[in-house]
Amino acid sequence: MKNSLKLSKDHVDKWVAAKAIVGDLEEPIIERIDYILNYWFSAFDGKLDYWYFPDAGEGEVGDLYSNMTLDTINKFVVCLEKQPSDYEMCIIDQDGDEYTWCNEIPTRWLFEDFESEIVEGKMKAIKAEEDNKAKRKALLENKKLKDKKLLTEVFTKLSKEELAAIKRNHTLI
C-alpha cells in the first residue's frame, strides 16, 4: 500500500533548508578530517593522496553521518602517495591506550588539538615497544640461566663415565 499522504510545500522547503545547513556545517568537518589524516600519515613519513568513505560516489567523500559515532569517525578508504614507515602507525593516546591506524580517528580530534598527541604518542609507542622487547629479552635470558643452573645440577650428579659418554654423544641429546 502506497502512502498517499501529500506533503506541504513548507515541509519540503524546511527539508531543503536543513540540507543546506548540514552541508555548510559538514564542509569544515571534512576539511578538518583531511588535515587530521594528512598529519597522522606525515608523522609516520607517509603521504596521503586522498581518502573517502566506502559509500562515496565518484569524486565525493561519502556520507560522514553514517561513518561517525560519538567516539570515532571510521571506515576510511585511503589512497597513498607514499607508504608510511610503520603501516600500523601506532600511538599511545592521552588516556594511555594504544591506538593503531585501523581506518578510524577519534571524533574528539575534530575539536581538540591532536598534533602533540600523535607526535608524543608515537614516541610513547616506540618506547613501549622497546620496553616490551627488553622484557622479552630479559625473560629469555632468565630462562637460559635457569636452564644452565638446572643442567649444572644434573651434571654434578653424574659420574665421570656418564659425563664422558654425554660429551662424546652430545648430538644425540
pLDDT of residue 86: 82
Which pLDDT band holds residue 168 (cuts at 50, 70, 90)? confident
Residue 100 has pLDDT above 70, yes or no: yes
The residues with which 82 forms a beta bridge, in sequence order, are 47
The backbone torsions φ and ψ at residue 128, rounded to the nearest 5 degrees and listed phi first, read -60, -40
Measure the CA–CA gap between 37 and 104, rounded to whole angstroms. Answer: 9
| Arithmetic mean of pLDDT over the chain | 90
Residue 163 has pLDDT above 90, yes or no: no
pLDDT tens digits, 124-151: 999 998 988 989 998 999 998 898 888 8
Report the percentage of the chain scoring pLDDT > 70: 97
- CB neighbours of 107 closer than 8 A, spacing ≥ 6? 68, 69, 70, 71, 72, 73
Provide the CA 108 distance to its chain's centre, in angstroms: 16
Residue 105 has pLDDT above 70, yes or no: yes
Cβ distance 84 to 46 under 8 Å? yes
- The set of cell numbers assigned to 108 is 574528539
Q: Map residue 33 onto helix, strand or coil.
A: helix
Report the percentage of the chain scoring pLDDT > 90: 63
pLDDT tens digits, 82-95: 999 887 899 998 98
Q: Which of 37, 44, 41 is nearest to 85 (CA)?
A: 44
- The set of cell numbers assigned to 173 is 641429546
pLDDT of residue 173: 57
pLDDT tens digits, 7-34: 999 999 999 999 899 989 999 999 999 9
- CB neighbours of 63 closer than 8 A, spacing ≥ 6? 53, 55, 56
Residue 172 has pLDDT above 70, yes or no: no
- The set of cell numbers assigned to 6 is 501529500
**In the predicted model, what is the mean pLDDT of residues 57-64?**
93
Measure the CA–CA gap between 23 and 2, rounded to whole angstroms. Answer: 31
Provide the CA 52 distance to its chain's centre, in angstroms: 18
pLDDT of residue 170: 73
pLDDT of residue 138: 87
Measure the CA–CA gap between 39 and 126, rounded to whole angstroms. Answer: 18
Cβ distance 118 to 91 under 8 Å? yes
Residue 1 has pLDDT above 60, yes or no: no
Provide the CA 159 distance to its chain's centre, in angstroms: 58
